[in-house]
Structure 1
Amino acid sequence: MIWLRKIWKIGSVCIFHSLTGLYCPGCGGTRAVRTLLQGDLRMSVQYHPLVLYTVIAVLTEGIIRFLSKKRKHPLDHRKRERILILIGAAIVVINWIFKNYMLVVKGIDLLPPL
C-alpha cells in the first residue's frame, strides 16, 4: 500500500512552464485526473476541463455504440467522432488562453498545488 501512495504523489514538472513561466496546453491535466478520482469535480475542471469532458464523451460514446449494435441498421459514428475531437481541441485552446490570460494579465494562478 505504501508503493501506491508513492505513485500517487509522483508528478512531473512542465518544462514549458519552467522555461517560460506560462502554462502549456496540457498543464493541470495530471492534477485534474487526481482530483477527479478523489471526487472533486470543481477542482478537476479548474485544473483542466478536458479530463471531465473526456470521461463524459467516452462514456456517452460507449453507450451510443452499444445501443447502435442492437439496431438493425447501425449508426455511422465518424461524424460524431470528428465533432467530439473538435470540441476537445477547442476546450484545450480556450483553457490554455484563459489560464495564461489570468496568470499574466490578472496575476491569478488557477493551478494551485495539490
Structure 2
Amino acid sequence: MRWLWRQSGRWVLISALLRERAVTWILLGFAFLYLLFAFFNIPIWRCVWRMFTGWRCPGCGLTTGCKAFLRGDFVEGLAWNWLTPFVLIALILFPVVMAIPKRVREPFLDRLERVERKFRLTLVLLVLVVVQTIARLQGWA
C-alpha cells in the first residue's frame, strides 16, 4: 500500500488519499454524518486540542463555517475558519471522483498527482493551516 505522505520523493496528499478508496469512503462517511448531526445541533465530538490546551485548533469552526456556507453566508463561513471553502470543495469533489469509472479515474489521479507535485499543494495546505493557527493565537481570526 502506498501511503499518503511521500511518493516518489515529493509530498502528495489529495491524489494518494483518493487512490485509497476504502479510507476515503470511511472519511467521507464520517464527515457527512458529522455534518448531519451538526445540522441538527447534536454534538458528537469535542475538540481534544481545545480541552487540553484551551486554544482553538486549526479545525475549530469548520463545522459552523460549513453550515454558514451552506446557508449562503460566505462572510460568516470565512470568519469561522478560513479553510472552510477547501473543506467544502473536498466534500463535493471527493465523492464525484470516487464514483467515476476506474478507467477515467486513474488517468485523472495521475494528472492530479503531477499537479500536486508541481505546485506542492500539500505544502500550500500545510502553510495555510499554520497561518490560520498563528492568526487565531494572535487574535486576528
SS where residue 121 of structure 2 aligns?
helix
**1:21/1:41 CA distance change after superposition, 3 Å:** same
Identity of aligned residues (%): 28
Q: What are the superposed Cα offsets for residues 20-63 of structure 1, whole Å, 9 maximum, x if unpaired? A: 2111121111111111111111111121222203445776xx8x
Structure number with the bigger relative contact order (C-alpha 8 A, sep ≥ 6) is: 2
Work out which of the residue numbers 10, 14, 33 in structure 1 matches 2:47.
Answer: 14
Q: How many residues align?
A: 92
Please say if 1:46 is aligned against 2:83: no
Residue 97 of structure 1 aligns with which residue? 134
TM-superposition CA deviations, 1:61-87 (whole Å, max 9, x none): x8xxxxxx7xxxx88322323433322
Match of 2:86, as an amino acid?
Y
Q: TM-score, normalised by structure 2?
A: 0.50
Gap regions ≥5 residues in structure 2:
1-35, 97-103
Answer whether contact 1:50 1:88 (CA < 8 A) is retained: no
Aligned Cα RMSD in Å?
Answer: 3.3
Distance 2:73 2:55 in 1: 25
* TM-score of the pair, normalised by structure 1: 0.59
Mark the runs of 5 or more structure 1 residues left unpaired by the alignment: 63-68, 103-107
Q: SS of the counterpart of 1:26?
A: coil
